[in-house]
Amino acid sequence: MKNIIRIALVLSAFIVLPVGAYFSDVSLSHPNYNAISHVKTEGIVSGYPDGTYRPDSVINRAEFTKIVMEANFSTNTINMCNPTRTYSFSDAGKEDWYSKYLCSAVQNKIISGYDDGTFRPAASINFAEAAKIVATTDLIEKSIRYGKRLPPAGDGPWYEQYVQYLSDNNAVPASIKSNDKLITRGEMAEIIYRLQVDIGSIPGYCTDDPVGTAIGRDEYPKLVEYAHLDFLGELFTASECGQARIDRIFGVRDGMYTLKPKILLKDGPSNAVVGALDKIGFDCLVVNIATSSCVHWLLDDLVPVSEILTLEPYADEIRSVECTNCG
């Protein structure tokens, strides 16, 4: 560490080095970006060979079945199903690319097909149909593990209790305005993402959308205890939601970006926070003469954001974080 006392304050800024998004056609501003990032990092989807995801394309029943099954069942469970013994839809072969997913869905009483004996794999799927498949699948685990149940069936249409289940679990994308709306690939990801948020794998506040600020970047709703930390607080809060949220806020992914903050500590900082700053590469900027402790620190080198996150346990020892030109 360079233990240099400077009288003049040095302006510093959070610097972001941009890299591409997960898919070439899913921008950071896409309304389903967090959800698509989630299903990608969880291995639920892989996209197309050309590097696209096609978030606004309508999804068909075969694709939808595959993705829902992969989101809820292990590969071994899916592969163990024997299509020749499980279903006999007139329009669904036993060796088609989706056969093992359809097999497992039928075996688990998630899909039964149409009254005319068809599955209609290439047909688009609307929200009412999707709600039944997703809710039924979701309840296989949650009815036992969390005591979840479908709302009672009323006098309404057949899909009412399934749609209500998704609504009760905050799993209806904002873009869904009617039950007969055809589901897009982005909306499918959003439904899965929000249901997985429900079981606590991601904190509930992570479903909140960042809001654009005047300086041209997103600002995340900060946790109360981080409100004094400026963009460092945003980073700490975003980290609670996983990598996809950090990517959304800071415009990049996979940890390939850096920050350059200037941090003011409270008087009498602990040896632990001083050691953490020193380890990251911060330099002492100002020393409190009365206590002989460094209270103002500047990071003048670029480091991975994962190293900055090691400061989170010491958030209550940080008085403020200065940031200039944070866009």
pLDDT tens for the chain, 327 residues long, are 433 333 222 323 333 323 335 899 998 888 898 899 889 988 899 899 999 999 999 999 999 999 999 999 989 999 999 999 999 999 999 999 999 999 999 999 999 999 999 999 999 999 999 999 999 999 998 888 888 899 998 899 999 999 999 999 889 998 999 999 999 999 999 999 999 876 666 676 776 666 665 444 566 667 777 877 877 887 888 787 776 677 666 665 556 566 678 899 998 999 999 999 999 999 999 998 888 899 999 988 777 778 888 999 999 999 988 865 443
Please report the pLDDT score of residue 215 as a whole number: 43
Enumerate the domain spans of the chain: 33-207, 211-322
Amino acid 224: pLDDT: 75
Query: In this structure, what token pair is assigned to residue 42?
Result: 């969880």
Assign 3-state DSSP to the chain and report helix, strand, coil percentages, each to 5. 40, 10, 50
Residue 257: per-residue pLDDT: 62
Q: What pLDDT is recorded for position 200?
A: 66
Q: What is the gyration radius of the CA atoms in the chain, in angstroms?
A: 25
HEC assignment per residue over 166-194:
HHHCCCCCCCCCCCCCECEHHHHHHHHHH
Residues linked to residue 287 through DSSP beta bridges, in sequence order: 294
- Residue 98 CA to residue 103 CA, distance in Å, equals 9
* Residues pairing with 60 in the sheet: 124
Q: Contact 176/212 with Cβ under 8 angstroms?
A: no
Residue type, 320: S
Helices of type H across the chain: 33-41, 61-72, 75-80, 83-86, 99-107, 127-145, 160-168, 185-198, 230-239, 243-250, 271-280, 305-308
Give residue 250's pLDDT.
64
State residue 272's pLDDT score. 95
Collect all residues with Cβ–Cβ distance below 8 Å to 287 and sequence separation of at least 6.
5, 293, 294, 295
Instruction: Report the distance separating Cα 202 and Cα 218, nearest Å.
Output: 20
Model's pTM, two decimal places? 0.69
